[in-house]
Amino acid sequence: MEILAPAGDGEALRAAVFSGAHAVYLGLKQFSARRTAGNFTPEELAGATAFCHARNVKVYVAVNTTLWPGELAAAADCVRAAAEAGADALIVQDLAAAALARRMAPGLLLHGSTQMSVHSPAGVRQLAAMGFSRVVLARELSLAEVRAIAQDSPIELEVFVHGALCMSVSGQCYMSAFLGGRSGNRGGCAGPCRLPFAADGSGAAHLSLKDLCAVASLPQLAGAGVASAKIEGRLRGPEYVAAAVHACGESLAGRPWDEALLRDVFSRSGFTNGYLAGRMDGSMFGVRTPEDTAASRAALPAVRGLYRRERQAVPVHFTAVCEADGVKLTARDEAGNLAIVYGEETPLPAERDQRPAIQKALEKTGGTPFYAAGLQVEG
């Protein structure tokens, strides 16, 4: 099961990769549903994609806002930038963006955004017929509903497993647009649902949901056939990204993970799993308290160790060939990349087996994404 992490900027991207994400999703400066994140220029996107691909991490580019007719040329530029950077897929909400992608970059996979509100087998089949390879399901589904959709799905399914929840279905909210002229469907949500709104005059934030945390349910989601576990949070820092990715990795591996630490890094009076568990009640609501903020300040330093160092995730197979005029060392990864180095000194007869010493020397790959997966000695 893929762990898909948010990358609001370059630092969050590195945190995602170094903490073990299998894929990242990010946005360009335009047409991103998180336009207030740092986001990426086309040049930065190309560099980020090369960085990720060198570490076997996929890159999905979000062009996932609604489009106006006068913006199609600019949207086409974003599709072109994603294709030229070598991105693995495009996440779209507007069918105009999907049509542009199919016409301009037919080799670029299409993922249907959660803001398409796909919540049924019929919806999944419709996107499959339109050329989508994956759909991000609506966040309001129960595990039983996800399992039913997955049984006959002709395309991959992606499910949100951690991060902020919207009061409106799949984030299709007009509240921010009506109150402040900042449309969430255009990437500018100001989060007014987090403010005090209460019919009884109590001043409580009766529209503010706690953050989702379904990390404990990852094995069940994987068993149901879900291809990707998505973490929300392109507006949050690298510590949040690393903590969530690490927790997901531990859960999928069947190891214990620290829910208290994850909650301290960011929560709104705790977490909820109400939708996925099919238990929708008042316990799903919460706000960000001063105590939550203080817990975050205390927890963040401990989390930084999760992404401080390069993660060695790319296996390399070595072959050393001893010939009369020197030694040839070949390094090959599983993507077919090949490097060959020739020694300049004539080898001398060995008094004992040198393979353990050679293996030990080749295993010194710290500070790189590579590790020695095997050594073959010939001659």
Residue 76 Cα distances to 38, 96, 132, 215, angstroms: 21, 10, 18, 36
**Among 116, 154, 152, which residue's Cα sits nearest to residue 137?**
116
Tokens representing 199?
């019919």
Domains of the chain (ranges plus CATH)?
2-165+209-306 (3.20.20.70), 314-378 (3.30.420)
The rounded percent of the chain whose pLDDT value lies above 90 is 69
What's the mean pLDDT when you consider all of the chain? 92
Tokens representing 330?
């070949």
| pLDDT tens by residue, 36-75 | 888 999 999 999 999 999 999 999 999 999 999 899 999 9
Query: Is residue 260's pLDDT more than 80?
Result: yes
The amino acid present at 138, given as its one-letter code, is A
**Alpha-carbon span 179 to 16, nearest angstrom:** 34
**Alpha-carbon span 341 to 343, nearest angstrom:** 7
Question: How wide is the angle at C-alpha 39 spanned by C-alphas 56 and 314, nearest 5°?
Answer: 10
Tell me, what's the pLDDT at 186? 84
**Alpha-carbon span 332 to 361, nearest angstrom:** 17
Q: Count the alpha carbons within 13 Å of 345 in the hemisphere toward its beta carbon.
A: 3
Return the residue matching tokens 């929708």.
280
The strand pairing partners of 231, in sequence order, are: 162
Are 157 and 225 within 8 A, CB to CB?
yes
- H helix count then E strand count, the chain: 13, 14
| Weakest mean pLDDT among 164-168, 285-289, 346-350 | 346-350
| CB neighbour class for 319 (10 Å; exposed up to 12, middle 13-18, buried from 19) | middle
- Label residue 92 by pLDDT band (50, 70, 90): very high
Are 185 and 172 within 8 A, CB to CB?
yes
Q: Give the sign of the dihedral formed by CA 151, CA 155, CA 161, CA 166.
A: negative
pTM above 0.85, yes or no: yes
The rounded percent of the chain whose pLDDT value lies above 70 is 100
Are 14 and 238 within 8 A, CB to CB?
yes
Query: Is residue 351's pLDDT more than 90?
Result: no
Number of other residues whose CB lies within 10 A of the CB of residue 50:
12
The amino acid present at 281, given as its one-letter code, is D
